[in-house]
């Protein structure tokens, strides 16, 4: 099975990259663009066949390496 | 005293700091490869600047989980002095040896220039040859030096005297224009709770010889030599 991991900056952590993307969208003429936040998307192929075990393992991966929990949150989806 | 410099794939200041250490301490440091599981017995470990593992995922994230870092953490827990410069500072925060995180610079650009720092403490093994509140000039060269920690952590590290250096103007005043990367409270360098681990974004080894245009980095190495001999 496969895990899809989204890593996003926590609320309250400034995202200068997101801000720059927001400004660029405005300068391209897109109307009504609010706050833009840039994150990461990671796909992981897993040998595990039990979805609950897979989710637990990937959650552990997120805490140890995939996200820096000082500044980032992450979500795990198993498909 | 004996120092070791950790070498990762992508380190590019390992030899610069080795030259400074050899010159000031009179003995070359041991160069320790990141795959080595055991750190030799040394008084000081330097985690140098560069782009370890190509800054993949986050600056310092991969290096923080390399085999040698486990041994560095054990040595740090026993009081071995650890100095992380630039990418080394990023690695030490990712490894949990120092609090907070280093994010993309406020201006999104790689910034390479001399900055002025205020020395907050002159009573540690890293800074005893400086004066308290001395203003020193040291180069920076980084894209991810924007120090972040939540408010509780910032209060705690201020209360504990863990702030080592702040970005200031030439006269030593705090000024947002003198903060090159948007770091919280203009923090340029940080100690652990026992002031035995120091991480800083600026490069003291790059101004440690008159031929390089300045010597404000020298007292840091002299301090360590004096403290650890």
Per residue in B98-142, pLDDT (tens digit) is 999 999 999 999 999 999 999 999 999 999 999 999 999 999 999
- Give the residue-averaged pLDDT of A10-19: 90
Per residue in B153-192, pLDDT (tens digit) is 999 999 999 999 999 999 999 999 999 999 999 999 999 9
CA distance A75 to B176: 35
Number of domains in chain A: 1
pLDDT of residue A16 exceeding 90, the answer is no
| Chain A residue at shortest CA distance from B65 | A65
ipTM of the complex in this document: 0.87
Q: Give the DSSP per-residue string, B116-141.
A: EEEE--SSSTTTTTSPTT-EEEEEEE
CA atoms within 13 A on the CB side of B222: 11
B163 token code pair:
């702030």
How many angstroms away from the CA of B96 is the closest CA of chain A?
A: 10
pLDDT band at A14 (very low <50, low <70, confident <90, very high): confident
As a whole-number percent, the residues of chain B with pLDDT over 70 amount to 100
Per residue in B197-222, pLDDT (tens digit) is 999 999 999 999 999 899 999 999 99
Say if CB B108 and CB B218 are below 8 A apart.
Answer: no
Full residue range of the structural domain in which residue A14 is found: 2-78
Number of domains in chain B: 1
Cβ-defined contact of B182 to A68 (cutoff 8 Å) = no
B197-200 vs B187-191, strand pairing mode: antiparallel
Q: What is the CA radius of gyration of chain B?
A: 16
Best of B53, B55, B57 to substitute, by most chain A Cβ atoms within 10 angstroms, is B57
Predicted confidence at residue B15, as pLDDT, reads 96
Full residue range of the structural domain in which residue B114 is found: 3-228
Say if CB B81 and CB B47 are below 8 A apart.
Answer: no
CATH of the domain at B32: 3.40.50.880
CATH of the domain at A30: 3.30.1280.10
In A, which residues are within 8 Å of B182 by CB distance? 14, 16
Q: What's the predicted TM-score (pTM) here?
A: 0.95
């Amino acid at each position: 099975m496969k895990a899809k991991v989204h890593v996003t900056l926590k609320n309250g952590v400034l995202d200068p990259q997101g801000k720059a993307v927001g400004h660029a969208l405005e300068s391209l003429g897109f109307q009504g663009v609010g706050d833009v936040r840039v994150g990461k998307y990671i796909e992981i192929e897993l040998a595990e066949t039990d979805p609950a075990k897979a989710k637990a393992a990937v959650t552990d991966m997120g805490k140890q390496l995939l996200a820096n929990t000082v500044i980032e949150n992450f979500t795990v989806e198993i498909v | 005293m004996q120092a070791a410099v950790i070498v990762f794939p992508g380190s590019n200041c390992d030899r610069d700091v080795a030259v400074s250490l050899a010159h000031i301490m009179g003995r070359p440091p041991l160069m320790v490869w990141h795959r080595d599981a055991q750190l030799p017995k040394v008084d000081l470990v330097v985690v140098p600047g560069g782009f370890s593992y190509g800054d993949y995922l986050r600056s310092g994230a991969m290096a923080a989980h390399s085999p040698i870092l486990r041994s560095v953490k054990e040595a740090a827990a026993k009081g071995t002095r650890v100095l992380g410069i630039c990418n080394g500072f990023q690695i030490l925060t990712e490894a949990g040896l120092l609090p907070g995180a280093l994010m993309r610079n406020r201006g999104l650009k790689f910034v390479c220039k001399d900055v002025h720092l205020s020395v907050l403490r002159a009573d540690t093994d890293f800074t005893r040859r400086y004066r308290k509140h001395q203003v020193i000039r040291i180069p920076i060269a980084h894209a991810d030096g924007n120090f972040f920690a939540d408010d509780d952590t910032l209060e705690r590290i201020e209360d504990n005297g863990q702030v080592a250096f702040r970005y200031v103007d030439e006269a030593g005043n705090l000024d947002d224009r003198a903060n090159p990367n948007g770091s919280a409270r203009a923090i340029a360098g940080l100690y652990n709770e026992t002031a035995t681990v120091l991480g800083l974004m600026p490069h003291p080894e790059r101004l440690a010889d008159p031929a390089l245009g300045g010597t404000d980095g020298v007292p840091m190495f002299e301090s360590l030599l004096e403290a650890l001999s």
